[in-house]
Amino acid sequence: MASLGSVIPAFTLSFLIFCGAVVAKGDVLELGDADFDYLAAEHETMLVKFYAPWCGHCKKLAPDFEAAATRLKGTVPLAKVDCTVSTEICGRFGVTGYPTLKIFRNGQDSSSYDGPRSADGIVNYMKKQAGPNSVTLHSEADLESFIDHFDASVVGFFSGPDSGQLAEFLKSASAMREHFRFAHTTHMALGLEHGLDTEGVLLVRPPRLNSKFEESVLRFTDAITTNTLRRFIRDNIFGMCPHLTIENRDKLKGRDLLTAYYDLDYLRNPKGSNYWRNRVMKVGSQFASQGLSFAVANRKDFLDELEEEFGLGASDGGDVPFVTIRTRQGFKYTMREEFTRDGKSLERFLQDYFAGRLKRYIKSEPIPEKNKGPVKVVVAESFEEIVNDPEKDVLIEFYAPWCGHCKSLEPKYKELAEQLYSDPNIVIAKMDATANDVPQGFDVFPTIYFSRAGKKDQPLRYEGAREVKDFIKFLKREASHVPVISGVREELKKLFLRGKKKEDCHPLKSSDLDDR
């Protein structure tokens, strides 16, 4: 039998190991194969990050994840699992890439986390995950407190706890809780003030965005199913002119969107923030039926994007909004006239847009003065002329100057172009995707596409091996004409010597070939 003296150290060691397993440095819990199941089961809701210590994306996420854990302490715990150590638990939950974030409820894998990965985004997203799928409201005070929120609110009103519509509402809330806020009540009288005298649902837009140009409360009285309620919320939640943020930007993609960027701050200056929004809405209401959506955003939140995508400097714009339009096809426009307080400049901008008089904004390098080398240099401004030439087959590489794969490909790609230089029907080209707008339909670097003559609206992504022989095999199969393979050196030498007297010839230099 072990002595007490030997038992105590053993117990102490086990306790220290146990503590080390569940308490990380900071407020993120560390879980592993030995303790994950019983510790995760203790929490109603938990966000777990599955990671590898060597993963660059994991390292980038770590500070935001830690900051979010501190802010959510006591509300929703955040935990992490090192998959290089805890292989069993990571394998069980199908983790194949890092970092993988999952939401657990009472120890069960509930769903993948598809929210923002900034500290603010994680906090806002996970606060919605805490507690029940739908909050029960008992009084007018409960209702007012719930709808007085930064985000929109979805509230159901039902005749009693046995209502079939309530059951469908709760099922819908469970399915959509990650994206919207839900509450319900069986006190029908609470809905009367908002014009609801039967079972139904109210969609209440954020109070800070209340405006005379649109209703702030919308009513839904059709039969409730998850699909019908989701459609109603999706079609109405943003209203005429939502507040575009880093967190909701993805939900506003896929539409033609005008955005006014300015010093917007609803926490410190709600009146000033709505000053310009009201002017956007006043003018926008005249064009509401023409398929263009509107939004306002804090310029500081999108400075990098505005500089990268629209060429806006940090000091440009001053106190007035900077206005852009981005279409679902990826076309971009900017309002160059200063936004006037009477809204007339915005009205003129929209009139020109719908009349087709605006010139698209294109981020482009200058068109090269010399472009006679084997690999043609394409920039955004010359893309239409070179790549979309209806008579040419074009193989184009989208690259980044710092991309290792692109650098490895360069000598092989140049050799391919040299072999095909004398072919009048095939162009081998490249474009710096970091310095030029890439047209819709093409993914960014490192990718290669084939644009066939006569089929310019159907670019084909090259997925094969990246040796010269593999490219040639591909072109023999896909090109509109049989490729002519000869070689650039001989062809350029003929061109160079033509018109020269033999005695004037000098040895060819690589610079001679590149410049012609």
Active-site residues, by number, are: 55, 58, 403, 406
Q: Which residues of 255-264 are buried (b: 16+ CB within 10 A; e: fewer)?
A: eebbbbbbbb
Region of residue 498 (left: phi > 0; alpha: psi -120 to 50; beta: else): beta
Taking the C-alpha atoms of residue 160 and residue 208, their distance in angstroms, rounded to an integer, is 32
> In 285-334, where do the E strands start and end?
293-298, 322-326, 332-334
**What 3-state DSSP class applies to 256?**
coil
* Cβ-based neighbour number of residue 43 at 10 Å: 16
Q: From CA 365, how far away is CA 64, in angstroms rounded? A: 35
Could you tell me the end-to-end alpha-carbon distance of the chain, in angstroms, rounded to an integer?
93
Q: Is 319 buried (19+), middle (13-18) or exposed (0-12) by CB count in 10 A?
A: exposed
| Distances 334 to 182, 355, 379, 399 between C-alpha atoms, Å | 38, 15, 20, 27
Q: Please tell me what DSSP assigns to residue 260.
A: E
Element (H, E) at 408: helix 404-419
- Cα-to-chain-centroid distance, residue 268: 28
Burial class (CB in 10 A: 0-12, 13-18, 19+), 46: buried
Please tell me the distance from the alpha carbon of residue 385 to that of residue 390, in angstroms, as a whole number.
Answer: 9
Residues 496 and 516 sit within 8 Å (Cβ to Cβ): yes
Task: Name the H helices within 420-507.
Answer: 468-478, 488-497
Do 31 and 21 touch, CB atoms closer than 8 A? Answer: yes
Strands 447-451 and 460-461: antiparallel
Distances (CA, A) of 95 to 28, 51, 56, 83, 84: 19, 9, 17, 8, 11
Q: Reduce the DSSP state of residue 118 to 3 states and report it.
A: coil
Task: Identify the H or E element spanning 22.
Answer: helix 4-22
Q: What is the token pair recorded at 185? A: 């009540």
Q: DSSP label at 214? A: B
The amino acid at residue 344 is K
CA distance 107 to 45: 8
